[in-house]
Every structure is written in C-alpha cells, then in structure tokens.
Amino acid sequence: SSGFTLIELVIVIVLLAIVATISVQFVALSTRGALDVSSRQQRALQSVVISEQISREVREAFPLSVRSNGPCLEWLPIVAATRYEQLTTGPDFDEVTISPFGRAIDGGLRAIVYGYGSGQSALYDNLNPGPVSPPIDPVSAGDTALNFSGTASHRFRERSPEKRIFVVGNRVSICQNT
C-alpha cells in the first residue's frame, strides 16, 4: 500500500513552516526597504526644494551682508539700487542726490553705499560715519533726492567707485531647527 506516514507528514509541515517564515520575512524586509527608499526620496526632494528657495532668496541679498549667526543664516535683501550724484554734504548730512529709482520705495528702509572695507558687523550696526544709513523717507518713482527719516543725519564712510547706492530691507533670517 502506498501513502504517507505520520512522520513524513509532520516533516513536510515543519519544512513548509520554515519556508513560509523565511518567505514572509523576505517580503517584509523588501517592503520595509521600499518604504525606506520612498521616505529618503521624499526627504531628498524636500531638501532640493528648500535649497532652491534659500538660494533664490539669498540671490537678492546685499553681497557683503550674508552671515551665519549660530543655526541661522542672515542677510539684508536689496529692495532697489541706483546711482548717486552726490552723497550727503554738510551741514545737515540728511539728503543724497540720486538718479531716480524708477519705482516707489517705501520709507523705513536703509541705504548702503559701498560697504567694502568695513567689517561685516558695520552692515548691521548703525555707525556714523558708516556704510549703512538711518531709515529713509519714502521715495517716489521720479524723485532725485533720498532723505533720511525725521531729523536723522548720516555721513557715508566710503564712496562707491561706480557711485552705486542700494536700498535694503530689514534683515532676513532662516534658522535650522535642531
């Protein structure tokens, strides 16, 4: 008579259990690997997007103003630029003669002339004389004068070889959370 003995049946069941366990672990590890790869790809894509956003914003920065401040990256964004005809002159030192910006500029911003030769901290301090002015009054598109707010006066420490004057906004910071 032909057939299986009980021992043969038990051995087959044990072997099938071992093969099934290995197969399930193999499938589970493969699935976990695929999920990990997907997660890494998503993080990589997020970092590319963040990097692009930061580089676009930093392109708008006054060149000497980009600095690292602990976990933060800071800079002064350029709002507008033009040429000056004459920097502040005495006795009040409160007006710069400029070529028109061609568009209106909000008040409360600051003007920078040159900036090279000064320490980077001079761009963030309000030194007089220094490269950064006190807050300016609003400027219309066709104005040929840039005035400092209120009764403020200022002397720029250096003259720009190309007679360039930049209007910058308030400092921008991007910080990394740890």
Q: Kindly report, residue by residue over 152-176, the tens digit of the pLDDT.
A: 778 888 888 899 999 999 999 999 8
Q: What's the confidence (pLDDT) of residue 106?
A: 92
Would the pTM of this model clear 0.85, i.e. be above it? no
Q: Could you tell me which residues are beta bridge partners of residue 95? A: 147
First-to-last alpha carbon distance for the chain, in angstroms, is 75
CA dihedral angle for residue 157, residue 100, residue 141, residue 134, rounded to 10 degrees: 10
Taking a C-beta distance cutoff of 8 angstroms, is the pair 96, 146 a contact?
Answer: yes
Q: What's the confidence (pLDDT) of residue 84?
A: 93
Q: Kindly report, residue by residue over 26-66, the tens digit of the pLDDT.
A: 889 989 999 999 999 999 999 999 999 999 999 999 988 89
Q: Kindly report, residue by residue over 118-148, the tens digit of the pLDDT.
A: 777 788 887 777 888 888 999 999 899 888 8
Q: What is the DSSP string of 16-33?
A: HHHHHHHHHHHHHHHHHH
Instruction: Tell me how many degrees the CA angle 167-75-64 measures, rounded to the nearest 5.
Output: 75
Helix H or strand E segment including 172: strand 172-175
Q: Which two tokens stand for residue 65?
A: 């103003």
